[in-house]
Structure 1
């Protein structure tokens, strides 16, 4: 069953004139440049002045809020966000695929996706993927979630319903598995087996690094999960969609209990939808709250999928997929911690430890390891 609408989009068409709207320093942005970009993106106004300030703490890119002087048009944006590459060339070369992935998400998939994302006026990248620029809607005064502080059940419900909009839009779409998108990651058995080998090594380092702060049962669960990754891909190959890959609180902007916007699309891939759902719920909620509310939250996600047109997918199957998706938590948490390009801080350590502890508790509660090895 397919719910996406990509029929009018040539998935194998090469990128046209790369780099036309790329800047590598916010100081390069002039009123004339901003006017041209916004007009090219469908907003006809003249920017006569602007100022900017850095926002966020992104590890793989830098973001700036631009305040625009653009007349009295009530429909014109007063602020926009520019996201661009950051760091030395050798770092950009390592994460260039992430840059290309995020740019192509806004170019290719965002118009067909039923998930709330910022409006994008321009998404451009150079041919070598070392520089990119996104011109995005400013979600202010929405605030990002916090992995350390967690969220409410109401916020979690809004987040999973929003997530369902992404998955439903591309549910089992065979066009995603063809050869037309060489930049798009595939979370297939081969890829996950390779990640599993990497995770075994990274887990040993993670456990050693946090030996004084990691509960023994969590260290044991991390090791067992890494060892079980070799069979994970075979168990989850029955369904696929576009998945965010890093759908967590720090990548969500909340403007109210039921108003959430997803950002940071550099980890996008074709994969098992249950991975996103499990990763979010297992890391966003403390174990006690997750235990009492996870059935209702999985139900809210499933209800939204059905509402978007996904058929022949029962709530029981959805909950099983939620259980099967749980290794995503240790996978992203441990690899993100051990291979981050940024220097560790106490805040980042708290985040990774919170995510690891919450994910491990969910894996044990839901019998995920038994499910993978049965």
Structure 2
């Protein structure tokens, strides 16, 4: 979500808020932090909102399809899953939507700054583990045009492409881990709605309580175990040497899985999905490091990633070698 010119979006947002909601826009501020779209904080004479827009010149597909994000949040508005309320959409290009600004913090305890007090971080992690089965209980049939259903094999193929696009010296051992994963791919189970990047960094919390699940760029219908395996990567700061931190008292992966299973049945062992989550993170970090070293996105902090990439690949490999 880079700071791009707002000339094509700002006047359209202001006109729609005035015409359809009777709210004059008094502030329009770019927000930074991601790469999938443009995000703005909008202030009117009544309230504050967040606007997400397709970047100028980008095709509105995949991560850049803002109206697809709005569609899933609208569909979840009357469920137990906390999501921001959508207030406006504009399909003209570049498309955008506006949602209520939900107060709260979205901080990953083992990665983000400022650091979250350990007791608070632990309480939040337990509560978001309680929310995940609520999402997976939503009937996918209520979503219009959800797209292709992704199996564990599909997920592995997707992240293999990402890993294979990274120079091998940046992801040493990555191919071996891919081979181990491909050797015994679990059969799919009944598909569910998945967020795609479910973790505390994408959940606004008010105190200990999850107030809104945000950043729906890669939602799909898929295997719930893939989502849970990704979430578990963030339970241990030891997975991120050089870039993360140890947080005492965080619930273990086993505890979080048990909390999930108290609300929703989950068959089988999760070892393969735990290893897949580590491979995914290693592939993403390898991709980001490659972009930095090629000069495509200069960020010296990316040079801190090799130790974490090595750790994720090594621990994922160890899980499958048992």
| TM bracket (short chain) | 0.7 to 0.9
Q: Match of 1:223?
A: 175
Aligned to 1:321: 270
How far does residue 325 in structure 1 lie from its aligned partner after superposition? 4.7
Judge conservation of contact 2:122–2:250 (CA < 8 Å) in 1: no
1:285 maps to 2:232: no
Q: Secondary structure at the match of 2:129?
A: helix
CA–CA distance in structure 1, aligned partners of residues 55 and 16 of structure 2 = 20
Structure-1-length-normalised TM-score: 0.66
Give, in whole Å, the separation in 1 of the partners of 2:25 and 2:79: 34
**Could you tell me which residue of structure 1 aligns to residue 129 of structure 2?**
160
Q: Does 1:298 align with 2:267?
A: no
SS at match of 1:327: helix
Q: CA deviation at 1:324?
A: 2.8
Alignment of 1:112-127 (within 5 A): 113-126=79-92
Partner of 2:69: helix, strand, or coil?
helix
Q: Quick check: 2:150–2:220 contact (8 Å CA) kept in 1?
A: yes
> Where does residue 261 of structure 1 map in the other structure?
212
CA distance in 1, matches of 2:204, 2:302: 19
1:346 counterpart residue number: 300
Tell me how far apart the structure 1 counterparts of residues 176 and 282 of structure 2 sit (CA, whole Å): 15
SS of match in other structure, 1:52: strand
Contact 2:49/2:99 (CA < 8 Å) preserved in 1?
yes
* Post-superposition offset of 1:69: 0.9
TM-aligned CA deviation for residue 115 of structure 1 = 1.8
1:327 Cα deviation (Å)? 0.4
TM-score by length of 2: 0.75
Q: 65, 85, 91: which one pairs with 2:41?
A: 65
Structure 1 residues 292 and 63: CA distance shift in structure 2, 3 A: closer
Shift of 1:237: 0.4
* 1:80 is aligned to 2:73: no
- Listed as ranges, the matches of 1:17-36 within 5 Å are 24-30=8-14, 32-36=15-19
Q: Deviations over 1:252-291 (max 9, x none)?
A: 2222123342111111111111111221221353247699
Shift of 1:323: 5.0
Deviation, structure 1 residue 60 = 0.8
1:16 matched residue in structure 2: none
Flag structure 2 segments of 5+ consecutive residues without an equivalent.
1-6, 239-245
- 1:329 and 1:99, CA in 2 relative to 1: closer, same or farther beyond 3 A? farther
- In structure 1, what is the Cα distance between the partners aligned to 2:249 and 2:316? 12
* Equivalent-residue separation in structure 1 for 2:12 and 2:64 (angstroms): 24
Matched, 1:208 2:175: no
1:74 aligned residue: none
- The whole-number CA distance in structure 2 between the counterparts of 1:240 and 1:96 is 21
Q: Which runs of 5+ in 1 are unaligned?
A: 1-22, 39-45, 71-77, 211-218
